[in-house]
Amino acid sequence: MTERIVLAYSGGLDTSVAIGWIGEATGAEVIAVAVDVGQGGESLEDIRQRALACGAVEAYVADARDEFANEYAMPTLKANALYQGHYPLVSAISRPVIVKHLVKAAREFGATTVAHGCTGKGNDQVRFEVGIQTLGPDLKCIAPVRDLALTRDKAIAFAEAKGLPIETTKKNPYSIDQNVWGRAVETGYLEDIWNAPTKDIYDYTATPEFPPAPDEVIISFLQGVPVAIDGVKVSPLQAIQELNRRAGAQGVGRIDVVEDRLVGIKSREIYEAPGAMALITAHKHLEDITIEREQARFKANVSQRWAELVYDGQWFSPLKRSLDAFIEDTQQYVSGDIRMTLHGGQAIVNGRRSETSLYDFDLATYDTGDTFDQSQAKGFIELWGMSSKVASQRDQRASGL
C-alpha cells in the first residue's frame, strides 16, 4: 500500500505546491487538511477543490469555528493570557485545534506522516510537532519548507511548470496569520524595528486617530464566559465576532511588540485582536470584584505561566492541564456584567455589577453607614509589621546604632 501523508493545507501557494512537492520527494500520496478557525477568505469547498486540483488524493475540511471559540479561545480568556504582557496568543491557540484535526484525518485515511508548512525559525513548527507527537505518538512529521528545501521561488516555478490553479505572481511582503481571535503580521520592512507600521498593515481595525462616536457596550459573563452583549444572548464565537466588529471599528486591539520566540530569536510582530483584547479587559475587571485577593494574586502568576506554555507549544502538556484545573476553579463566581466604552483605540471599563461580587459598599464607603471598625486597624498594623520591626532592631544592634 502506498504511504500516505496528511498535510496542513491553507489553500495558498506554498501548501498547494507542497502537495506535489511532497509526492515527488517521498512517493507518498497526500491528503490535504483544511481547518476553518475563522480566518475568513475562501469557502472550505473552494479550498477543498483546489487541493484536489493540485494533486491531493483526498481533501479533509472542517468548520472548527465554534470548536475553536469554545475550547481554545475561552480557556485563553479565562486565563487572561497575554504572552509577555502583550500578545493574546492569536496563532498559538489555533495550532492545537488544527493538530487535533490533522491527527484525526491521519487515523481516518491511514496516513503515517503529518506535514506542515512551517520554517525552521518560527514557533509554529514546535507547536505542530509537539502536538502531533502528543496526540499521535506513532506519527512522523515533516516540513517541506524546512526539510524538503521548498523555498518560495521554487514554489512559484513548480506551480507555473505544473499549471497549478494558484496565484504565483503576487508577492506579499508580509507573513500573515489570522483567525477569529485575531491577526498576526510579520516580516518585510517590519523586520527593521525602527520602522512604524503603515496603514496597509491593518485589516481587523480602523485607524484610532479619527474614530466614530464612542460605543458603549455591556458584556455579560457566566462563570468567565461571555453569554450576552447588550442583553442579547450570544455564543462564544458570536461574542468574539461582535466585538471584533465594534471594537475593531474603534481601533481597539492594535499591538506592536518585539517578543521572544521559543527558538531564541527576538521577533517584531504586529497584532490585531479587537475582540480578544476587549473581552480580556472586561473579564479581568469582572474578576477584580469576584475573585478573592490571594487567589487573584496567585492566578496572575498562573496566567503568565499558562501563556508561556501555550506560546511554547505545550497546549497538551500535563502542567498546562493542571493549570487549567486551577483556572477553571477560579471562574466559579466570575459572573456578572461589565460596561465599557470603546473609543479611539481604547476599551475603558466604567461599570461593574455582579450577584457574586466581593465588593461591599458598606465596608468600602467613607460616608455615614460605614460598617468597617477602624479601631481594629492599629493592632493589625502592629502585628503586620512585627517581623520587619524585630529584624530592623537586630540590624541596628549589629551595626552598633
Q: What is the pLDDT of residues 9-33, one digit of tens each?
A: 998 888 999 999 999 999 999 999 9
Q: Are 173 and 187 in contact (CB under 8 A)?
A: yes
Predicted local distance difference test score (pLDDT) of residue 319: 98
Q: What is the value of pTM for the model shown? A: 0.93
Distance CA(132)–CA(99), nearest Å, equals: 6
124 marked as part of a ligand binding site: yes
**Residue 124 annotated among the catalytic residues of the structure:** yes
The active-site residue, picked from 4, 48, 95, 254, is 95
CA nearest to 285, candidates 340, 225, 232: 340
* Residue 259 assigned as binding residue: yes
Active-site choice (4, 124, 246, 267): 124
Q: Is there a catalytic annotation at residue 175? A: yes
Catalytic residue among 63, 147, 175, 288: 175
Q: Is 387 annotated as a binding residue?
A: no
Helices 318-330 and 293-311, packing angle to 10 deg: 150
pLDDT given at position 164: 87
Beta bridge partners of residue 272, listed in sequence order: 183, 254
What structural domains does the chain harbor? 4-171 (3.40.50.620), 176-291+334-353 (3.90.1260.10), 371-398 (no CATH)
Q: Are 96 and 64 in contact (CB under 8 A)?
A: no
3-class DSSP string for 23-54: HHHHCCEEEEEEEECCCCCCCHHHHHHHHHHC
Among candidate residues 4, 36, 39, 40, the one with its CA nearest the CA of residue 19: 4
8 annotated to bind ligand: yes
Place of cell 484525518: 105
369 labelled binding-site residue? no
Q: Annotated binding residue at 117?
A: yes
Q: Is 115 helix (H, G, I), strand (E, B) or coil?
A: strand
Q: Is 138 annotated in the active site?
A: no
Segment 169-198, tens digit of pLDDT: 556 667 889 999 999 998 888 999 999 999
Annotated binding-site residue? 16: yes
Buried b / exposed e across 179-208, counting CB within 10 Å, b at 16+?
bbbbbbbbeeebeeeeeeeeeebbebbbee
DSSP character string of 347-358: EEEEEEE-TT--
Residue 367: active-site member: no
Q: Residues 208-223: pLDDT tens digits?
A: 998 999 999 999 999 9
Chain centroid to CA 85: 13
Tell me the pLDDT tens digit for each residue of 281-325: 999 999 999 999 999 999 999 999 999 999 999 999 999 999 999
